[in-house]
Structure 1
Amino acid sequence: MATPQENLLDWLRDAHAMEQQAEQMLKAQSKRLEHYPQLKARIDQHIEETLGQQKLIDECLQRLGGEASTMKDLGGKLMAFGQAVGGTLMSDEVIKGAMAGYVFENMEIASYTVLIAAAQAAGDTQTQKACETILPQEVAMAQWLLDHLPQLTEAFLQRSADPDKEAKK
């Protein structure tokens, strides 16, 4: 059996690894985007948010006497690397990347929702507040992606239909 505090600490380690993965995925995607400036700008903004989120999670881990899991962090980075490499092989890389980003943001939303409830149960108001700071950023990014998927798809389709333009990235 595990106490609420032990579960909270474990889930914070998961969140740390998740944010490491997010950083890698976002940076790889941003670096490759050439023809979709609005998407690139929003991803770059979210990279900065992600770095701030990592700092908040690190502070929570340290305050609770824990530390990040090297194995979980490595696993997250490896998954991000695999996704980046896989994306380069697709002719519709920008669309698949935006869809994957939307799915990932929703996983983050679920994770921070769980962390808020766990922090409440553990009586850890500082972790609760940190996660309540992060959650709206994830919701906003997911909503931005959802709102812009039709426009992004239209831009991709127009570029794809033009033999003189690259649509992929």
Structure 2
Amino acid sequence: MTTPTDNLLDWLRDAHAMEQQAESMLKAQAERLEHYPTLKARIVKHIEETQGQQRLLVECIERLGGSTSTLKDLAGKLMAFGQAVGGMAMTDEVVKGAMAGYVFENLEIASYTVLIEAAERVGDTATAQACRSIIQEEIAMAEWLKEHLPEVTRAFLERSADPDAEAKR
């Protein structure tokens, strides 16, 4: 039998691995962006937020007597590496990357929604509050991406139509 606290701890480990994956993907994207300074600046800011989120998650995991999962963290980083390498081959890398970022932010929002409910169910108010803090950053990033996807798309299309400009990143 698995207790609600066991599930919470497992989901916190999943979230930690997810944030490590996010950090790897965001860093790879930021390093490659050359012609989209607004997008790059927002990604760099979110990398810092993501690192803070990882620290909060470790505190929650340790408070429950657990530790992070090296295997899950490694799997997340490998997935991020594969996505970064795959993106390099796309001629529309910046657009696909922004779209993937928006989807990933919404996955994170769903994850933290579950974590908040689970933490409240077991009476772990500190974890619930940490996840409420994190979800606000994820919502803000998702909203930013949604608002800026048209701008990124327009800039890509303009650069793509110019034979003297590189558009993909």
TM-fit CA distance, 1:122:
0.8
Distance 2:82 2:120 in 1: 35
Distance 2:129 2:53 in 1: 12
Identity %: 73
Residue pairs, 1:150-161, within 5 angstroms: 150-161=150-161
Partner of 1:29: 29
Is residue 2:72 matched to residue 1:69? no
- The TM-score with structure 1 as length reference comes to 0.99
Deviations 1:17-70 (A, max 9, x none): 000000000000000000000000000000000000000000001111101111
Output the aligned Cα RMSD: 0.4
Q: Report the AA paired with residue 128 of structure 1.
A: A
TM-fit CA distance, 1:2:
1.0
Q: Report the AA paired with residue 13 of structure 1.
A: R
SS of the residue corresponding to residue 11 of structure 2 reads helix
Partner of 2:119: 119
Q: Report the AA paired with residue 21 of structure 2.
A: Q
Residue pairs, 1:129-140, within 5 angstroms: 129-140=129-140
Distance 2:155 2:106 in 1: 24
Distance 2:151 2:23 in 1: 25
Partner of 1:109: 109
Partner of 1:9: 9
Distance 2:165 2:20 in 1: 34
- The TM-score with structure 2 as length reference comes to 0.99
TM-fit CA distance, 1:136:
0.6
SS of the residue corresponding to residue 102 of structure 1 reads helix
Distance 2:73 2:44 in 1: 21
Q: Report the AA paired with residue 135 of structure 2.
A: L
Partner of 1:49: 49
Distance 1:84 1:140 in 2: 23
SS of the residue corresponding to residue 35 of structure 2 reads coil
Q: In the comparison of the two structures, how many residue pairs are matched?
A: 169
Distance 1:47 1:154 in 2: 25
SS of the residue corresponding to residue 65 of structure 2 reads coil
TM-fit CA distance, 1:96:
0.5
Q: Report the AA paired with residue 123 of structure 1.
A: G
Q: Report the AA paired with residue 107 of structure 1.
A: L
